[in-house]
Amino acid sequence: MSTDSLTEAIEELPLVDHHVHGALRGDVDRAGLELMLTESDRPIPPWMTQFDSQVGFAVRRWCAPVLGLDPHASPEAYLARRGELGTAEVTRRLLTASGIDHYLLETGYKGEEILGIDGMARASGRRVDEVIRLEAVLEDVARGGVAAADLPERFRETLARRTADAVGLKSIVAYRFGFDFDPERPTDAEVAAAAGQWLAQCEKTGEVRVTDPVLLRFGLWSGVDRGLPIQLHAGYGDPDVELHRCDPLLLTRFIKSVRPHGVDLLLLHCYPFQRNAGYLAQVFPHVYFDVGLGVNYTGMRSDAVVAESLELAPFAKILFSSDAWGPPELHHLGALLWRRGMLRTLAPWVESGEWAVDDAIRVARMIGRDNARRVYGLADGA
């Protein structure tokens, strides 16, 4: 069975990247770029380079040609060419070549360093919608000055205003506490009490960063009330994470509690717990997942990660994301490696006659585009 039509369908599929951040605004030197090609937040030690990693090799192999270099260009040549072309041109080339057609942009992390909604729309020439990070809104409310007793209501008002045009919400409770939280909705009195301690702490330290589990749960449940799809960071991330506490299975009770509210939950990344996420997506109608981030950082091995995402979950419950933040190399590779992984997984199934080619094409389109359109209520077309 020929897989030419499958190859073509996957290559040409206009993707909806349902969880992504902005491309870098400014220029970056080699040390800076290397630090953005890892989830580590520590300086790269002098005896190594982050280019000697799966994602580093992938940049040299796949991004170098987009900048007009040979595949496997050296890091030195790559950085030099990047400087020559300039940030705007590098960004334009890599975003355009990615074939991502629609970005759902989450702007709550270091927003000053990266392009916002309008910037990404200009740089990519594509449609961009917004996803709002619950914890960022909560921290903005604290920064704006609020009495503890007023915080619950003030947060709800602010969230309503901020999300007026948003297509989804995002929570990083995994980073800030872990998924082993009490799944019950806290009362406003409990929230006000926790807010009192937190606001005093903010005052004292000058740092506004929410880690209290009562406040985090309040954010989540307010998100449920808001009624938009909620994205939850799960699994792999930076060293703030205690990874074993980010296994999405630990969310089981919360997932059950949310079910009657009719709100969809989208588990992001999930690596190395993608099989666990697939289980949740099979048994709970309102649970979805993707394997973004992990795809970029596993490079050549991302085909294994993509393949593992195609086990228990019905195909209507799997989405594509790049989770790129910063270097547009990550936006580009997120799309490229996902397409490559899907093709490497599906083509042999079609060749052996075990999947029909039309079914394979349909599944690729569901995961790469159509499921996101349905979940987020995105209008079809441009």
At 274, the amino acid letter reads Q
- Minimum Å distance from CB 111 to a second copy? 23
Q: Which is nearer to a second copy, 44 or 79 (CB)?
A: 44
Residue 104 pairs in a beta bridge with 129
Q: Which is nearer to a second copy, 142 or 372 (CB)?
A: 372
- Minimum Å distance from CB 74 to a second copy? 10
To the nearest 10°, the Cα dihedral for 51, 95, 100, 372?
70
Q: How far apart are CA 244 and CA 201, in angstroms?
A: 28
Distance of CA 165 to the CA centre of its chain: 19
- Minimum Å distance from CB 66 to a second copy? 15
Q: Which residues bind a second copy (CB under 8 A)?
A: 38-45, 47-48, 50, 52-54, 56-57, 61, 71-72, 236, 238-239, 242-244, 247, 249-250, 252-253, 256, 271-272, 275-276, 279, 282-285, 297-298, 300-301, 304-305, 307-308, 310-317, 349, 353-356, 359, 362-363, 366, 374
- Minimum Å distance from CB 52 to a second copy? 5
Cα 17–Cα 20–Cα 24 angle in degrees, nearest 5: 125
- Minimum Å distance from CB 270 to a second copy? 12
Tell me which residue has tokens 């190859």.
7
Tell me which residue has tokens 């073509």.
8
Q: Which is nearer to a second copy, 119 or 272 (CB)?
A: 272
Q: Which is nearer to a second copy, 134 or 343 (CB)?
A: 343
- Minimum Å distance from CB 292 to a second copy? 14
Q: How far apart are CA 72 and CA 52, in angstroms?
A: 12
235 phi-psi bin (left φ>0, alpha ψ -120 to 50, beta other)? left
DSSP string, 66-82: HTTPPTT--HHHHHHHH
Q: Which is nearer to a second copy, 27 or 311 (CB)?
A: 311
Q: Which is nearer to a second copy, 146 or 312 (CB)?
A: 312
| Residue 116, SS3 per DSSP | coil
Nearest to 119 by CA among 134, 132, 109, 130: 130
- Minimum Å distance from CB 228 to a second copy? 17
Q: Which is nearer to a second copy, 48 or 200 (CB)?
A: 48
Instruction: Yes or no: say if 264 and 375 are a contact pair by the CB < 8 Å rule.
Output: yes
